[in-house]
Amino acid sequence: MDVQSLLNLTEKTLDEVMPRADERPSVLHEAMRYAVGTGGKRIRPLVCLASAVAVGGRAEDARYPAAAIELLHNYTLVHDDLPSMDNDTERRGKPSVWAKFGEANATLAGDALQALAFWAAAKAPRNAGEIVAALGKAGVGVVRGQVEDVAASGERGTDDVDFIYTHKTADLFIAAATMGGYAGGGSEADVVALGKFALNLGLAFQYEDDLLDGDSPFPKEKTEALVREATGAAIAALASLPGDTSFLKSLAERLVGRKS
């Protein structure tokens, strides 16, 4: 299982489920495809596909849930960039969706991406109900984190940081892993283990982002320690899984000290 084959499967499935850009209303579909197609590491769908393998299933089993989590992730980015939120005019080195297509069209494109995510998740070959439920829980969780993030002002306490990072960042990782576990036919114990892995992976990812951006709420040494602690906990959670966990372990290890 190599990264490129998983990325190819993700891109193929995203292209399959996305509306054609020339369908009416074309501006909506252009904005949706622009949002999803302007880059990104596809980490969450990779986690989803690899989680299916980690419970003894196939990556192919999780291709629709993987597409779903990427659609939901991009909906959150579109809405995060809006003038009423972060007011960002750039995303991934290109104009943000609202800067290119207008605020109203961007809002509606985000809404459509969210709805399409649930449609894609429901196409999973097994455990579709559990998969859709996991996606819905993450969708609400990320909004909870965003509300707290918007409301926060000045210095944040540790409880505030934990809440925001757990929901705004880690919840989508948890959904990606648990959806993959369900799609791969894993047991409830397997899904719980994947959830623990993904929670810590998401936290490590956010702490490392803070180091890269230079805006950690904690001193650098503490943030580096938090990255190591969360990464170790993520890898330890994989020990009980019956399938090949090497990709997930490698992914967690690569987050430590990454440059972008």
pLDDT tens digits, one per residue of 153-195: 666 777 889 999 999 999 999 999 999 999 999 999 999 999 9
Kindly report which listed range (25-29, 100-104, 133-137, 215-219) carries the lowest average pLDDT score. Answer: 215-219
pTM: 0.95
Residue 58 to residue 65: CA distance in whole angstroms: 13
Report the pLDDT value the prediction gives residue 157, as an integer from 0 to 100: 73
Q: What span, in angstroms and rounded, lies between the C-alpha atoms of 49 and 69?
A: 11
Instruction: Give pLDDT, residue 65.
Output: 98
Residue 21: pLDDT band (50, 70, 90) is confident
Report the candidate in 110, 117, 108, 63 with the shortest Cα–Cα distance to residue 91. 110
- What is the per-residue pLDDT across 35-80, written as a single tens digit (0 to 9) for each? 999 878 899 999 999 999 999 999 999 999 999 999 999 999 999 9
Cα separation, 162 vs 132, whole angstroms: 26
For the segment 185-241, what is each residue's pLDDT rounded down to a tens digit? 999 999 999 999 999 999 999 999 888 888 888 889 999 999 999 999 999 999 999
Which domains does the chain possess?
3-255 (1.10.600.10)
Nearest to residue 168, comparing CAs of 197, 198, 140? 140
Alpha helices for the chain (secondary structure H): 3-17, 26-37, 43-54, 63-80, 97-101, 103-121, 128-151, 158-164, 171-183, 188-213, 220-236, 246-255
Contact 30, 218 (CB under 8 A): no
Residue 94, phi then psi, degrees to nearest 5: -130, 165
Q: pLDDT band for position 250 (50/70/90)?
A: very high
Radius of gyration of the chain (CA): 18
Query: 159 versus 32: which is more confidently predicted?
Result: 32
What band does 259 get if pLDDT is binned at 50, 70 and 90? low
- Cis ω for the linkage preceding 25 (within 30 of 0): yes
Cα 96 to Cα 18, 39, 42, 90, 190, distances in angstroms:
19, 12, 18, 5, 38
- Asked whether the beta carbons of 225 and 41 are under 8 A apart, the reply is no
